[in-house]
Amino acid sequence: MPARERLTVAVTGPTGEIGRSLLAALDRSAGVERVIGMARRPFDPSAHGYRKVTYHRGDVLDPVAVASLLAEADVLVHLAFIIMGSPTQTRAVNLVGSRNVFAACTAAKVKRLVYASSVAAYGFRRDNPRPLTEDVPARGSRGHYYSAQKAEVEQVLADTLAGSDTEAYVFRPCIVAGPDAPALINNLPYTQISRRLPPSLSGLLGALPLLRPVLPDPGVPLQLVHHDDVASAMLAAVLAKGPPGVYNLAGAGTVSISQIASELGWHAIKIPHFMVDATAQAVASMPLLPAQMRWIQAMREPVVMDTTRARRELHWRPKHDALATLREMIAAMNDD
Ligand SMILES: NC(=O)c1ccc[n+]([C@@H]2O[C@H](COP(=O)([O-])OP(=O)(O)OC[C@H]3O[C@@H](n4cnc5c(N)ncnc54)[C@H](OP(=O)(O)O)[C@@H]3O)[C@@H](O)[C@H]2O)c1
């Protein structure tokens, strides 16, 4: 690519689990001239050896900071989001912040906007097809703040960009994991919930040696995608290696909660579906519970995605399957 076509890429939320891998991929890419990151915490790109990355502290709720981030950008990657929090805490950053970013992209005539939505945008619904393709509408789950917000933000994106020159690449990754993305284990809803199960189940758990954690397994298959594979898909979008549109992202294969427990050296116990439903309903009616517990909703129905479109259109070739991703994450945790 001639030097004059090399891109300036702005990134909101580059300090998070996906952002860190993305910065490394952008910094290595011959098609990228400059990367400008923005989030709230302090971050020093030179400490990571990046040559092209600069960083400004700023909040997506501040339209001036967002406009300044975009002043020279050809492409914007929007990752700033609050995943764990109460419905009201998260709504400001996720809805208002995203709207600010999308509107600023059209005002600045940014060529491409790459947005990390989520599998959760489909909603955890019994009537969803399996596997989910990108043609399935993103309806979200009203009972789950993150899922509902992810669906709503996709609609805000479509409405804001309608009629503008900015093209949108919307990714719907499954759970992101890997050595630099331990949030799956840190936030496992069952790690929290197993301490608060009904007495009947606590009795069963009591029969097991409780020196190691016990994860209740509702039998739902989980897809995982490695953070570096998410970064490679996003880099393909930044460089317009395929058409704009919506893309599912997941590594090959699935893992079960029992497999996760076994890889961690923990225990698992199978639990019936009705118990997950009952717990999810109880959790939904308790506003003061930790955000992690609300994620039990995600265990009510399998949400398994088809990733043919990303492979075909963006030539995406994830290097890690679900089990390899899990194992890399656990090995890194054990090394710490
Ligand atoms: N991780 C997953 O399993 C997963 C799966 C599917 C989709 N996604 C989506 O991918 C995106 C990135 O996820 P992630 O896992 O990288 O999240 P993360 O690790 O929680 O990082 C979030 C990033 O957003 C920044 N941020 C939060 N509030 C901000 C604000 N008001 N202004 C500016 N920056 C702000 C954070 O930095 P500061 O706190 O310093 O501001 C951080 O850099 C999110 O939209 C998420 O929903 C994630």
Question: Where do the domains of the chain lie?
Answer: 3-177+224-251+304-319
Question: Could you read off the pLDDT of 139-167 as tens digits, one per residue?
Answer: 999 888 999 999 999 999 999 999 999 99
The CA 78 to ligand 1 mean position distance, Å, reads 9
Residue 196 pLDDT grade (very low, low, confident, very high; cuts 50, 70, 90): low
**Non-local CB neighbours of 29 within 8 Å, separated by 6+ positions:** 235, 238, 239
Strand pairing report for 267-270 and 175-177: unpaired
User: 3-state DSSP call for residue 21?
Assistant: helix
Whole-number percent of the chain with pLDDT over 90: 71
The CA 92 to ligand 1 mean position distance, Å, reads 14
Question: Could you read off the pLDDT of 92-141 as tens digits, one per residue?
Answer: 999 999 999 999 999 999 999 999 999 999 999 999 999 999 999 999 99
How many C-alpha atoms does 155 have within 13 Å on its Cβ side? Answer: 13
Query: What is the fold, at CATH topology level, of the domain defined by 3-177+224-251+304-319?
Result: Rossmann fold (3.40.50)
Query: Are 39 and 82 within 8 A, CB to CB?
Result: no
DSSP-derived secondary structure letter, 134? T
Q: Which of 11, 12, 18 to mutate to test the pocket of ligand 1 (most atoms within 8 A of CB)?
A: 18
Stated pTM of the model: 0.92
**pLDDT at res. 187:** 76
**pLDDT at res. 88:** 87
**pLDDT at res. 263:** 95
Compute the average pLDDT of residues 220-235. Answer: 97
Is residue 275's pLDDT more than 70? yes
* 288 vs 1, more confident: 288
Is residue 210's pLDDT more than 70? no
Question: Could you read off the pLDDT of 2-34 as tens digits, one per residue?
Answer: 445 799 999 999 999 999 999 999 999 999 999
Query: Are 221 and 275 within 8 A, CB to CB?
Result: no
Is residue 205's pLDDT more than 60? no
**pLDDT at res. 211:** 56
19 lines ligand 1 (CB under 6 A): yes
**pLDDT at res. 288:** 59
User: 3-state DSSP call for residue 75?
Assistant: strand
**pLDDT at res. 1:** 47
Q: Would you give the distance in Å from CA 100 to the centre of its chain?
A: 20
Is residue 212's pLDDT more than 90? no
**pLDDT at res. 213:** 75
218 lines ligand 1 (CB under 6 A): no
Structure tokens, 178: 């890997």
116 lines ligand 1 (CB under 6 A): yes
